[in-house]
């Protein structure tokens, strides 16, 4: 039963892992993972650094100064002109500029003076192609990068960026990537697993859509507005050697996106591109943990949980389970610190589910064991009452006879002797019964001392048959002693005799009159067999399985009216086991039974 229960536990742990993995990959599970990602993101920010990028901002003040949106191009032209002398490394412009306007001349002139200019394009609203800057601007640009925002479809938080995007048949790189390539003066090359820009390898697989997680800088990217520059041209120094991201930051105009850091203040799109650039330039890539690794860890967590419950059910198990849950929480945190995004859900769910399931399993197992022992207890009590009742019979006979002797002084001598013999016989029977009860307790407690002597099996059988003869004669049952091997075995002769005598008297007790009981043996090189076969009431398979339990009697046996306590066979089994042997029982209701002792030759 125990082994089966443990197999069930193992299967439950396996099932818990599969269920946890499945649930983690549902939309809801992934959402929880995303929140956990944001949590770790805030928990373990990278050390602050001086950004390579700077934002040239078209803010509210600038828009007011230049007369609103229509003045944006003039503002940009002015801003670029002011910072030109500081010689920035590159300028990325996050304005689409798809149409001509009267104020394009100064902007084109400013673009012309910019050595590394990267312009932007966006997806057409129907997604069929790209909305590009007009040719007049475009020819001054070293690249045109796309700035389409891909936000999380559940919470619209911007966590990652596709480094490439295809519209129609036209593939474009992200603005930040194009800018990085322009700064390095290299081309972007690709492999199935990553993109290569000079010596910078960006892990972003083709199959995964070339997604790159953005490691937002813990501090804001420096920002100077064009209006500020107009007022304080000396601020242009701050642009020296920097990668400039020029775009709108005015709340009224720009798209603003939430990031894992945002509380309620959204980040302007231009800062998002600058952050993507910083992620690439600093090589702060966050890669996904391999699926097989995650699955293996989950199976290991469930196996550990199962093992903790397999070993015990005390507080140690609870502590172990709590530690396993703690480990499931630590892995994602540690991995995140090393740049690997280890999803939080699979391990957490596995550890929790496995613990809950194993605890339920333990609870049911303990309850079942309790039930079994309760049953055993009531059966034991019932049998005890029965056994006490059995003891009363000889006691009553002794009491009655002794009373008669003392009351009738003039009792004839013959009668007196008969009574005394009866008292003697009944008190012997009583002593034997008490002896039996005590020995069963001693045997099961392992307190019975076993002698080690050599004796012949045939001798033991002969003596038993002799003792059982009166019983057999009374029922007109013939006991046939057939061929018995003349071997000697080592053990306790007295106990062995008790065992054989029990089998023999059972065969006689549970057989109708006029039948035969055969006793035969066999010497089979390594083992010696001794069988007692009757033509009695027999038993079905279910009964056979229980007859070695203490106090168990079959209904059929009880109906025969034969006295019995149901403990004889439990003693026999213990005796044989202590002699290193076993008992085989073959039986069929109404046909008879065969009990075979199988002893090792010693
Ligand atoms: P008891 O004979 O005192 O009841 P045992 O422990 O010797 O106790 O036997 C347990 C039960 O096994 C018996 O009550 C009877 O139901 C069954 N049994 C034992 N031997 C035989 C047999 N030879 N034929 C049929 N039933 C038997």
DSSP calls for 517-539: EEEEEEEETTEEEEEEE--S---
Cβ 592 under 6 angstroms from ligand 1: no
In this structure, the residue with its CA closest to atom 11 of ligand 1 is: 553
Instruction: Decide if 122 contacts 172 (C-beta within 8 A).
Output: no
CATH architecture of 453-600: 2-Layer Sandwich (3.30)
* Residue 258 DSSP code: B
Cβ 565 under 6 angstroms from ligand 1: yes
In this structure, the residue with its CA closest to atom 25 of ligand 1 is: 538
The model's confidence at residue 431, banded by pLDDT at 50, 70 and 90, is confident
Lowest-pLDDT range, 108-117, 201-210, 213-222, 406-415?
406-415
Of 104, 103, 98, which Cα lies nearest the Cα of 134?
98
CA 309, CA 311: separation in Å to the nearest integer? 5
Lowest-pLDDT range, 91-105, 174-188, 441-455?
441-455
Shortest-distance atom of ligand 1 to CA 571: 6
Cβ 517 under 6 angstroms from ligand 1: no
Cβ 317 under 6 angstroms from ligand 1: no
Query: How do 223-225 and 90-93 pair as beta strands?
Result: unpaired
CA–centroid distance, 565 to ligand 1, in Å, is: 9
**Quick one: average pLDDT of 147-157?**
79
Instruction: Decide if 281 contacts 180 (C-beta within 8 A).
Output: yes
The model's confidence at residue 308, banded by pLDDT at 50, 70 and 90, is very high
**Quick one: average pLDDT of 578-587?**
92
Question: What is the signed CA dihedral for 307, 313, 316, 321, rounded to 10 degrees?
Answer: 50
CA 215, CA 339: separation in Å to the nearest integer? 10
In this structure, the residue with its CA closest to atom 26 of ligand 1 is: 538
Check residues 511 and 430 and name the one with the higher pLDDT. 511
pLDDT of res. 395: 85
CB atoms within 10 A of CB 309: 24
pLDDT in tens, 163-183: 999 988 899 999 999 999 999
In this structure, the residue with its CA closest to atom 20 of ligand 1 is: 506
Which residue of 553, 588, 589 sits with most ligand 1 atoms within 8 Å of its CB, as the best mutation to test the pocket?
A: 553
CA–centroid distance, 486 to ligand 1, in Å, is: 28
Tell me: pLDDT of 1 over 60.
no
**Quick one: average pLDDT of 494-501?**
87
Which residue of 444, 547, 583, 596 sits with most ligand 1 atoms within 8 Å of its CB, as the best mutation to test the pocket?
A: 547
Q: What is the 3-state secondary structure (H, E, C) of 51-105?
A: CCEEEEEECHHHHHHCCCHHHHHHHHHHHHHHHHCCCCCEEEECCCCCCCCCCHH
Shortest-distance atom of ligand 1 to CA 538: 25
CA 46, CA 53: separation in Å to the nearest integer? 17
pLDDT of res. 13: 96
CA–centroid distance, 573 to ligand 1, in Å, is: 13
- Give SS3 for 225: strand
Shortest-distance atom of ligand 1 to CA 502: 7
In this structure, the residue with its CA closest to atom 7 of ligand 1 is: 568
Cα dist. 13→154, 361, 431 in Å?
Answer: 32, 10, 56
Mean of the per-residue pLDDT values of the chain: 90
- Give SS3 for 256: strand
CA–centroid distance, 361 to ligand 1, in Å, is: 37
**Quick one: average pLDDT of 252-276?**
83
Of 468, 554, 566, which Cα lies nearest the Cα of 517?
468
Query: How do 117-123 and 90-93 pair as beta strands?
Result: parallel
**Hey, where are the domains in the chain?**
1-42+293-414, 47-283, 453-600
Tell me: pLDDT of 502 over 70.
yes
Tell me: pLDDT of 332 over 90.
yes
Check residues 349 and 157 and name the one with the higher pLDDT. 349
Lowest-pLDDT range, 308-322, 325-339, 481-495?
481-495
**Quick one: average pLDDT of 264-289?**
92
CA–centroid distance, 560 to ligand 1, in Å, is: 11
The model's confidence at residue 442, banded by pLDDT at 50, 70 and 90, is low
Say which residue the tokens 């994602």 belong to.
332
């Amino acid at each position: 039963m125990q082994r089966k229960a443990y197999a069930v536990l193992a299967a439950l742990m396996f099932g818990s892992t599969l269920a946890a993995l499945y649930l983690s990959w549902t939309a809801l599970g992934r959402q929880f993972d995303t929140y956990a990602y944001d949590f770790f993101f805030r928990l373990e920010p990278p050390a602050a650094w001086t950004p390579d990028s700077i934002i040239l901002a078209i803010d509210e003040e600038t828009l007011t100064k230049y007369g609103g949106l229509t003045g944006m191009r003039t503002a940009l032209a002015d801003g670029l002109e002011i910072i030109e002398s500081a010689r920035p490394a590159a300028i990325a412009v996050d304005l689409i500029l798809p149409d001509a306007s009267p104020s394009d001349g100064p902007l084109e002139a400013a673009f012309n003076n910019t050595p590394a200019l990267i312009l932007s394009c966006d997806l057409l609203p129907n997604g069929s192609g790209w909305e590009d800057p007009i040719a007049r601007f475009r020819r001054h640009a070293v690249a045109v990068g796309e700035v389409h925002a891909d936000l999380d479809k559940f919470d619209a938080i911007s966590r990652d960026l596709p480094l490439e995007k295809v519209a129609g048949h036209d593939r474009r790189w992200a603005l930040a990537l194009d800018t990085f390539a322009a700064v390095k003066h290299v081309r972007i090359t690709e492999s199935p697993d990553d993109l290569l820009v000079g010596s910078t390898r960006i892990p972003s697989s083709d199959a995964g859509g070339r997604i790159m997680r953005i490691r937002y800088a813990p501090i804001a990217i420096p920002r100077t507005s064009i209006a500020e520059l107009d007022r304080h041209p000396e601020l242009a120094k701050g642009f020296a050697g920097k990668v400039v991201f020029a775009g709108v930051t005015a709340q009224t105009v720009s798209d603003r996106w939430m990031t894992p850091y945002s509380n309620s203040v959204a980040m302007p799109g231009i800062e998002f591109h600058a952050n993507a650039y910083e992620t690439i330039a600093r090589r702060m890539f966050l890669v996904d943990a391999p699926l097989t690794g995650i699955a293996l860890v989950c199976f290991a967590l469930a196996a550990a949980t199962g093992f903790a419950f397999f070993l015990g059910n005390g507080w140690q198990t609870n502590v172990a389970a709590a530690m396993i849950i703690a480990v499931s929480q630590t892995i994602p945190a540690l991995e995140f610190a090393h740049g690997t995004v280890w999803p939080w859900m699979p391990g957490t769910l596995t550890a929790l589910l496995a613990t809950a399931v194993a605890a339920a399993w333990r609870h049911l197992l303990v309850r079942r064991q309790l039930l079994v022992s309760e049953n055993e207890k009531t059966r034991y009590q019932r049998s005890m009452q029965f056994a006490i009742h059995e003891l009363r019979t000889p006691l009553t006979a002794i009491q009655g006879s002794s009373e008669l002797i003392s009351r009738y002084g003039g009792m004839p001598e013959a009668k007196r002797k008969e009574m005394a013999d009866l008292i003697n016989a009944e008190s012997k029977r009583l002593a034997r019964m008490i002896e039996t009860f005590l020995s069963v307790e001693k045997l099961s407690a392992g307190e019975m001392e076993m002698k080690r002597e050599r004796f012949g099996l045939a001798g033991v059988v002969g003596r038993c048959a002799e003792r059982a003869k009166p019983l057999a004669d009374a029922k007109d049952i013939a006991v046939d002693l057939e061929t018995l091997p003349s071997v000697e075995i080592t053990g306790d002769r007295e106990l062995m005799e008790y065992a054989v005598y029990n089998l023999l008297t059972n065969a006689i007790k549970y057989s109708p009159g006029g039948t035969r009981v055969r006793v035969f043996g066999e010497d089979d090189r390594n083992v010696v067999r001794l069988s007692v076969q009757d033509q009695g009431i027999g038993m079905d398979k279910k009964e056979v399985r229980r007859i070695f339990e203490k106090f168990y009697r079959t209904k059929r046996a009880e109906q025969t009216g034969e006295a019995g306590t149901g403990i004889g066979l439990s003693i026999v089994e213990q005796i044989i086991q202590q002699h290193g042997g076993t008992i085989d029982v073959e039986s069929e209701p109404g046909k008879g039974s065969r009990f075979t002792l199988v002893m090792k030759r010693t």
